[in-house]
Structure 1
Amino acid sequence: MAEAAIGLIEQHGPAAHREAALAVLREIPAGTGPMTLNSPGPVDLCVAAAVAAAMNTHPRYVPAPQALRLTLVRHLREVEGRAIGAPARERVIDVSDADALQFLAQLYDDSYARLIPRQPSQRGPWEWDILAVLKAHLLGTPAAATTPEQAQMLKSKLLTILQAAAATPLKPSGPPPRGPRTGQRAQPTRKKPKKKR
Protein backbone atom coordinates (compact mmCIF):
# COMPACT_ATOMS: atom_id res chain seq x y z
CA MET A 1 0.00 0.00 0.00
CA ALA A 2 2.91 2.37 0.68
CA GLU A 3 4.21 1.86 -2.87
CA ALA A 4 0.80 2.64 -4.33
CA ALA A 5 0.49 5.68 -2.05
CA ILE A 6 3.83 7.02 -3.34
CA GLY A 7 2.38 7.14 -6.86
CA LEU A 8 -0.69 9.02 -5.61
CA ILE A 9 1.40 11.56 -3.70
CA GLU A 10 3.62 12.10 -6.76
CA GLN A 11 0.58 12.80 -8.93
CA HIS A 12 -1.80 14.59 -6.56
CA GLY A 13 0.02 15.51 -3.35
CA PRO A 14 0.15 19.18 -2.31
CA ALA A 15 3.39 20.68 -3.64
CA ALA A 16 4.30 22.18 -0.25
CA HIS A 17 4.29 18.77 1.49
CA ARG A 18 5.00 16.38 -1.39
CA GLU A 19 8.70 15.68 -0.73
CA ALA A 20 8.21 15.28 3.04
CA ALA A 21 5.28 12.88 2.48
CA LEU A 22 7.30 10.86 -0.04
CA ALA A 23 10.18 10.62 2.47
CA VAL A 24 7.80 9.23 5.13
CA LEU A 25 6.34 6.68 2.72
CA ARG A 26 9.77 5.54 1.48
CA GLU A 27 10.84 4.81 5.06
CA ILE A 28 7.94 2.40 5.65
CA PRO A 29 9.36 -1.14 5.54
CA ALA A 30 7.97 -3.63 3.04
CA GLY A 31 5.60 -6.24 4.39
CA THR A 32 2.18 -6.41 5.94
CA GLY A 33 2.83 -4.82 9.32
CA PRO A 34 0.85 -1.86 10.66
CA MET A 35 1.90 1.64 9.66
CA THR A 36 2.50 4.18 12.41
CA LEU A 37 2.53 7.93 11.80
CA ASN A 38 4.68 9.95 14.17
CA SER A 39 3.12 13.39 14.45
CA PRO A 40 -0.25 14.88 13.54
CA GLY A 41 0.12 17.52 10.85
CA PRO A 42 -0.25 18.23 7.14
CA VAL A 43 2.43 15.73 6.06
CA ASP A 44 0.90 12.84 7.99
CA LEU A 45 -2.54 13.87 6.72
CA CYS A 46 -1.26 13.60 3.13
CA VAL A 47 0.33 10.22 3.88
CA ALA A 48 -2.79 8.84 5.58
CA ALA A 49 -5.05 10.06 2.76
CA ALA A 50 -2.79 8.56 0.09
CA VAL A 51 -2.57 5.19 1.88
CA ALA A 52 -6.36 5.17 2.38
CA ALA A 53 -6.81 5.93 -1.32
CA ALA A 54 -4.37 3.16 -2.27
CA MET A 55 -6.21 0.65 -0.09
CA ASN A 56 -9.64 1.65 -1.32
CA THR A 57 -8.80 1.76 -5.00
CA HIS A 58 -8.22 -1.98 -4.82
CA PRO A 59 -11.29 -3.67 -6.37
CA ARG A 60 -11.45 -6.14 -3.48
CA TYR A 61 -12.37 -3.32 -1.13
CA VAL A 62 -14.70 -1.09 -3.14
CA PRO A 63 -16.66 -1.54 -6.38
CA ALA A 64 -16.10 2.06 -7.61
CA PRO A 65 -12.43 2.82 -6.88
CA GLN A 66 -12.16 5.87 -9.14
CA ALA A 67 -15.11 7.56 -7.43
CA LEU A 68 -13.48 7.04 -4.04
CA ARG A 69 -10.15 8.27 -5.39
CA LEU A 70 -11.83 11.44 -6.67
CA THR A 71 -13.27 12.10 -3.19
CA LEU A 72 -9.81 11.88 -1.65
CA VAL A 73 -8.30 14.08 -4.39
CA ARG A 74 -10.95 16.71 -3.63
CA HIS A 75 -10.05 16.62 0.08
CA LEU A 76 -6.34 16.92 -0.72
CA ARG A 77 -6.98 19.93 -2.98
CA GLU A 78 -9.14 21.54 -0.29
CA VAL A 79 -6.41 21.07 2.33
CA GLU A 80 -3.77 22.42 -0.07
CA GLY A 81 -5.92 25.48 -0.83
CA ARG A 82 -6.34 26.22 2.87
CA ALA A 83 -2.65 25.66 3.55
CA ILE A 84 -1.57 28.24 0.96
CA GLY A 85 -4.32 30.66 2.02
CA ALA A 86 -6.23 30.65 -1.27
CA PRO A 87 -9.68 32.28 -1.04
CA ALA A 88 -12.57 29.80 -1.04
CA ARG A 89 -13.94 31.14 -4.35
CA GLU A 90 -10.59 30.39 -6.06
CA ARG A 91 -10.34 26.78 -4.86
CA VAL A 92 -11.39 24.40 -7.62
CA ILE A 93 -12.19 21.14 -5.85
CA ASP A 94 -15.14 19.85 -7.84
CA VAL A 95 -16.39 19.42 -11.39
CA SER A 96 -20.10 19.14 -12.17
CA ASP A 97 -21.68 16.04 -13.68
CA ALA A 98 -22.79 18.15 -16.65
CA ASP A 99 -19.20 19.22 -17.37
CA ALA A 100 -17.97 15.63 -17.11
CA LEU A 101 -20.71 14.37 -19.45
CA GLN A 102 -19.98 17.17 -21.92
CA PHE A 103 -16.30 16.18 -21.88
CA LEU A 104 -17.28 12.53 -22.43
CA ALA A 105 -19.28 13.63 -25.48
CA GLN A 106 -16.19 15.52 -26.67
CA LEU A 107 -14.02 12.40 -26.30
CA TYR A 108 -16.45 10.10 -28.12
CA ASP A 109 -19.81 11.40 -29.28
CA ASP A 110 -23.07 12.51 -27.74
CA SER A 111 -24.77 9.12 -28.08
CA TYR A 112 -22.11 7.51 -25.85
CA ALA A 113 -22.53 10.19 -23.17
CA ARG A 114 -26.31 9.57 -23.16
CA LEU A 115 -25.73 6.03 -21.88
CA ILE A 116 -24.93 7.40 -18.42
CA PRO A 117 -28.14 8.26 -16.52
CA ARG A 118 -28.57 11.91 -15.60
CA GLN A 119 -30.08 10.97 -12.23
CA PRO A 120 -27.27 10.00 -9.80
CA SER A 121 -29.53 7.47 -8.03
CA GLN A 122 -29.85 5.49 -11.29
CA ARG A 123 -26.09 5.08 -11.86
CA GLY A 124 -24.15 1.92 -11.24
CA PRO A 125 -20.58 1.67 -9.88
CA TRP A 126 -18.97 1.68 -13.32
CA GLU A 127 -20.89 4.82 -14.34
CA TRP A 128 -19.69 6.59 -11.19
CA ASP A 129 -16.15 5.50 -12.02
CA ILE A 130 -16.33 6.84 -15.58
CA LEU A 131 -17.50 10.22 -14.33
CA ALA A 132 -14.84 10.21 -11.59
CA VAL A 133 -12.01 9.63 -14.11
CA LEU A 134 -13.26 12.52 -16.24
CA LYS A 135 -13.72 14.82 -13.25
CA ALA A 136 -10.26 14.06 -11.87
CA HIS A 137 -8.78 14.99 -15.24
CA LEU A 138 -10.83 18.19 -15.48
CA LEU A 139 -9.69 19.28 -12.01
CA GLY A 140 -6.18 19.70 -13.42
CA THR A 141 -6.73 20.27 -17.14
CA PRO A 142 -9.59 22.11 -18.89
CA ALA A 143 -11.39 20.18 -21.60
CA ALA A 144 -10.21 22.61 -24.29
CA ALA A 145 -6.56 22.15 -23.23
CA THR A 146 -6.64 18.33 -23.23
CA THR A 147 -3.98 16.98 -25.58
CA PRO A 148 -4.57 14.01 -27.93
CA GLU A 149 -2.19 11.95 -25.76
CA GLN A 150 -4.19 12.75 -22.63
CA ALA A 151 -7.43 11.93 -24.46
CA GLN A 152 -6.01 8.56 -25.51
CA MET A 153 -4.91 7.83 -21.93
CA LEU A 154 -8.40 8.70 -20.65
CA LYS A 155 -10.01 6.44 -23.25
CA SER A 156 -7.82 3.53 -22.17
CA LYS A 157 -8.84 4.12 -18.51
CA LEU A 158 -12.50 4.21 -19.49
CA LEU A 159 -12.08 1.02 -21.51
CA THR A 160 -10.54 -0.69 -18.47
CA ILE A 161 -13.55 0.33 -16.36
CA LEU A 162 -15.97 -1.00 -18.99
CA GLN A 163 -14.06 -4.28 -19.29
CA ALA A 164 -14.13 -4.69 -15.49
CA ALA A 165 -17.88 -3.97 -15.50
CA ALA A 166 -18.45 -6.56 -18.22
CA ALA A 167 -16.48 -9.16 -16.25
CA THR A 168 -18.41 -8.52 -13.03
CA PRO A 169 -21.30 -10.99 -12.64
CA LEU A 170 -24.54 -9.21 -11.86
CA LYS A 171 -26.58 -10.36 -8.91
CA PRO A 172 -29.99 -11.63 -9.98
CA SER A 173 -32.78 -9.24 -9.17
CA GLY A 174 -36.44 -9.95 -8.60
CA PRO A 175 -38.16 -12.80 -6.82
CA PRO A 176 -36.46 -16.20 -6.70
CA PRO A 177 -37.61 -18.72 -9.30
CA ARG A 178 -40.55 -20.91 -8.29
CA GLY A 179 -40.17 -24.57 -7.85
CA PRO A 180 -39.50 -27.14 -5.17
CA ARG A 181 -37.14 -26.00 -2.43
CA THR A 182 -33.96 -27.89 -1.85
CA GLY A 183 -34.58 -30.92 0.32
CA GLN A 184 -38.34 -31.04 -0.32
CA ARG A 185 -39.98 -33.85 -2.20
CA ALA A 186 -42.11 -32.73 -5.12
CA GLN A 187 -45.65 -34.02 -4.83
CA PRO A 188 -47.12 -35.47 -8.03
CA THR A 189 -50.24 -33.78 -9.31
CA ARG A 190 -53.43 -35.80 -8.77
CA LYS A 191 -55.74 -36.54 -11.65
CA LYS A 192 -59.31 -35.51 -11.18
CA PRO A 193 -61.73 -38.45 -11.26
CA LYS A 194 -63.98 -38.65 -14.31
CA LYS A 195 -67.62 -37.74 -13.69
CA LYS A 196 -70.07 -40.63 -14.03
CA ARG A 197 -73.21 -40.22 -16.10
Structure 2
Amino acid sequence: MNWTIIFAGVAAIVSVVNVFVSIRNSKSQMRAQIISSSRVQWIKEVRNIFANFIKLSAEFHNELLFLNDSKIDINFEKSFNMLRGNLWANYYQLISYFPDMDSDGRNIDIRKTFEELIIYLEEKLEYSYKDTTFKFFKPSFEIVKQENVSEQFKVLLDYISNDFSNYMKQEWEKAKSEAI
Protein backbone atom coordinates (compact mmCIF):
# COMPACT_ATOMS: atom_id res chain seq x y z
CA MET A 1 0.00 0.00 0.00
CA ASN A 2 2.82 2.41 0.84
CA TRP A 3 4.45 1.76 -2.50
CA THR A 4 1.26 2.70 -4.28
CA ILE A 5 1.10 6.05 -2.48
CA ILE A 6 4.77 6.73 -3.23
CA PHE A 7 4.32 5.89 -6.93
CA ALA A 8 1.17 8.02 -7.06
CA GLY A 9 3.02 10.91 -5.39
CA VAL A 10 5.97 10.64 -7.79
CA ALA A 11 3.58 10.48 -10.74
CA ALA A 12 1.77 13.59 -9.47
CA ILE A 13 5.05 15.50 -9.04
CA VAL A 14 6.22 14.45 -12.50
CA SER A 15 2.88 15.58 -13.95
CA VAL A 16 3.11 18.98 -12.25
CA VAL A 17 6.70 19.45 -13.43
CA ASN A 18 5.66 18.39 -16.93
CA VAL A 19 2.86 21.00 -16.94
CA PHE A 20 5.27 23.76 -15.85
CA VAL A 21 7.83 22.74 -18.48
CA SER A 22 5.10 22.72 -21.14
CA ILE A 23 3.93 26.18 -20.08
CA ARG A 24 7.49 27.52 -20.16
CA ASN A 25 8.15 25.99 -23.59
CA SER A 26 4.86 27.34 -24.89
CA LYS A 27 5.73 30.85 -23.66
CA SER A 28 9.17 30.63 -25.28
CA GLN A 29 7.69 29.44 -28.54
CA MET A 30 5.03 32.16 -28.50
CA ARG A 31 7.66 34.81 -27.76
CA ALA A 32 9.81 33.57 -30.65
CA GLN A 33 6.81 33.66 -33.01
CA ILE A 34 5.91 37.20 -31.94
CA ILE A 35 9.49 38.40 -32.40
CA SER A 36 9.76 36.66 -35.75
CA SER A 37 6.46 38.00 -37.10
CA SER A 38 7.32 41.49 -35.81
CA ARG A 39 10.65 41.35 -37.62
CA VAL A 40 8.94 40.21 -40.83
CA GLN A 41 6.46 43.10 -40.52
CA TRP A 42 9.36 45.50 -39.89
CA ILE A 43 11.11 44.21 -43.02
CA LYS A 44 7.98 44.85 -45.11
CA GLU A 45 7.59 48.38 -43.74
CA VAL A 46 11.24 49.26 -44.27
CA ARG A 47 11.21 47.92 -47.83
CA ASN A 48 8.22 50.12 -48.67
CA ILE A 49 9.85 53.20 -47.17
CA PHE A 50 13.12 52.40 -48.94
CA ALA A 51 11.30 52.01 -52.27
CA ASN A 52 9.68 55.42 -51.74
CA PHE A 53 13.07 56.90 -50.81
CA ILE A 54 14.57 55.64 -54.06
CA LYS A 55 11.55 56.89 -56.04
CA LEU A 56 11.76 60.37 -54.50
CA SER A 57 15.54 60.42 -55.02
CA ALA A 58 15.09 59.58 -58.70
CA GLU A 59 12.40 62.26 -59.10
CA PHE A 60 14.64 64.82 -57.39
CA HIS A 61 17.61 63.80 -59.53
CA ASN A 62 15.54 64.02 -62.72
CA GLU A 63 14.36 67.50 -61.78
CA LEU A 64 17.99 68.51 -61.28
CA LEU A 65 18.89 67.23 -64.72
CA PHE A 66 16.22 69.29 -66.39
CA LEU A 67 17.00 72.53 -64.61
CA ASN A 68 17.77 75.54 -66.71
CA ASP A 69 17.48 79.24 -66.03
CA SER A 70 14.59 79.84 -68.43
CA LYS A 71 12.44 77.08 -66.92
CA ILE A 72 12.56 78.21 -63.31
CA ASP A 73 9.34 79.94 -62.35
CA ILE A 74 7.46 80.22 -59.07
CA ASN A 75 5.40 77.06 -59.68
CA PHE A 76 8.45 75.00 -60.58
CA GLU A 77 10.29 76.29 -57.55
CA LYS A 78 7.35 75.42 -55.28
CA SER A 79 7.01 71.89 -56.64
CA PHE A 80 10.78 71.38 -56.54
CA ASN A 81 10.94 72.53 -52.92
CA MET A 82 8.00 70.28 -52.06
CA LEU A 83 9.76 67.34 -53.69
CA ARG A 84 12.94 68.16 -51.77
CA GLY A 85 10.97 68.37 -48.52
CA ASN A 86 9.30 65.02 -49.21
CA LEU A 87 12.68 63.45 -49.95
CA TRP A 88 14.13 64.72 -46.67
CA ALA A 89 11.04 63.65 -44.71
CA ASN A 90 11.25 60.18 -46.23
CA TYR A 91 14.97 60.01 -45.48
CA TYR A 92 14.34 60.76 -41.81
CA GLN A 93 11.50 58.27 -41.70
CA LEU A 94 13.79 55.63 -43.20
CA ILE A 95 16.69 56.19 -40.82
CA SER A 96 14.31 56.17 -37.86
CA TYR A 97 13.97 52.42 -38.48
CA PHE A 98 17.73 52.04 -37.92
CA PRO A 99 18.62 53.48 -34.51
CA ASP A 100 22.26 54.30 -33.76
CA MET A 101 22.27 51.95 -30.82
CA ASP A 102 22.42 48.39 -32.10
CA SER A 103 24.34 45.30 -31.12
CA ASP A 104 26.62 44.94 -34.14
CA GLY A 105 27.02 48.42 -35.68
CA ARG A 106 25.22 47.52 -38.90
CA ASN A 107 22.61 50.22 -38.39
CA ILE A 108 25.21 52.98 -38.46
CA ASP A 109 26.63 51.55 -41.69
CA ILE A 110 23.27 51.39 -43.47
CA ARG A 111 22.37 54.89 -42.29
CA LYS A 112 25.64 56.17 -43.79
CA THR A 113 24.70 54.47 -47.05
CA PHE A 114 21.39 56.34 -47.16
CA GLU A 115 23.16 59.55 -46.20
CA GLU A 116 25.53 59.20 -49.16
CA LEU A 117 22.59 59.47 -51.55
CA ILE A 118 21.25 62.57 -49.79
CA ILE A 119 24.70 64.19 -49.77
CA TYR A 120 25.16 63.40 -53.45
CA LEU A 121 21.83 64.99 -54.37
CA GLU A 122 22.48 68.07 -52.22
CA GLU A 123 25.95 68.47 -53.74
CA LYS A 124 24.46 68.20 -57.19
CA LEU A 125 21.80 70.78 -56.32
CA GLU A 126 24.48 73.14 -54.99
CA TYR A 127 26.52 72.63 -58.15
CA SER A 128 23.47 73.35 -60.32
CA TYR A 129 23.57 76.99 -59.19
CA LYS A 130 26.86 77.32 -61.07
CA ASP A 131 26.32 74.95 -63.99
CA THR A 132 23.12 73.15 -64.94
CA THR A 133 24.97 70.94 -67.41
CA PHE A 134 26.91 69.26 -64.57
CA LYS A 135 29.77 68.86 -67.02
CA PHE A 136 32.49 69.02 -64.36
CA PHE A 137 30.50 67.86 -61.35
CA LYS A 138 32.63 65.86 -58.91
CA PRO A 139 30.79 64.45 -55.88
CA SER A 140 32.54 63.79 -52.58
CA PHE A 141 31.55 60.11 -52.45
CA GLU A 142 34.59 58.11 -53.61
CA ILE A 143 32.65 55.30 -55.28
CA VAL A 144 31.06 57.61 -57.84
CA LYS A 145 33.78 60.28 -58.05
CA GLN A 146 35.59 58.53 -60.91
CA GLU A 147 32.41 57.73 -62.81
CA ASN A 148 31.15 59.63 -65.82
CA VAL A 149 28.63 62.28 -64.70
CA SER A 150 25.85 60.54 -66.60
CA GLU A 151 26.54 57.26 -64.75
CA GLN A 152 27.09 58.54 -61.20
CA PHE A 153 23.50 58.38 -60.02
CA LYS A 154 22.98 54.86 -61.39
CA VAL A 155 26.20 53.61 -59.77
CA LEU A 156 25.17 55.19 -56.47
CA LEU A 157 21.71 53.60 -56.63
CA ASP A 158 23.27 50.21 -57.38
CA TYR A 159 25.60 50.59 -54.40
CA ILE A 160 22.80 51.64 -52.03
CA SER A 161 20.42 48.94 -53.27
CA ASN A 162 23.08 46.29 -52.84
CA ASP A 163 23.88 47.41 -49.27
CA PHE A 164 20.19 47.56 -48.41
CA SER A 165 19.54 44.11 -49.90
CA ASN A 166 22.40 42.60 -47.92
CA TYR A 167 21.13 44.19 -44.72
CA MET A 168 17.59 42.92 -45.32
CA LYS A 169 18.89 39.44 -46.16
CA GLN A 170 20.62 39.31 -42.77
CA GLU A 171 17.44 40.49 -41.06
CA TRP A 172 15.44 37.82 -42.89
CA GLU A 173 17.91 35.18 -41.69
CA LYS A 174 17.44 36.45 -38.12
CA ALA A 175 13.66 36.23 -38.51
CA LYS A 176 13.90 32.65 -39.75
CA SER A 177 16.24 31.59 -36.96
CA GLU A 178 13.99 33.20 -34.33
CA ALA A 179 11.01 31.27 -35.65
CA ILE A 180 12.77 27.95 -35.13
- The question of a shared fold, defined as TM-score above 0.5 by the shorter chain, is answered with no
Structure number with higher relative contact order (C-alpha < 8 Å, ≥ 6 residues apart): 2
Larger Rg: 2
Bigger share in helix: 2
TM-score when normalising by structure 1: 0.25
TM-score when normalising by structure 2: 0.27
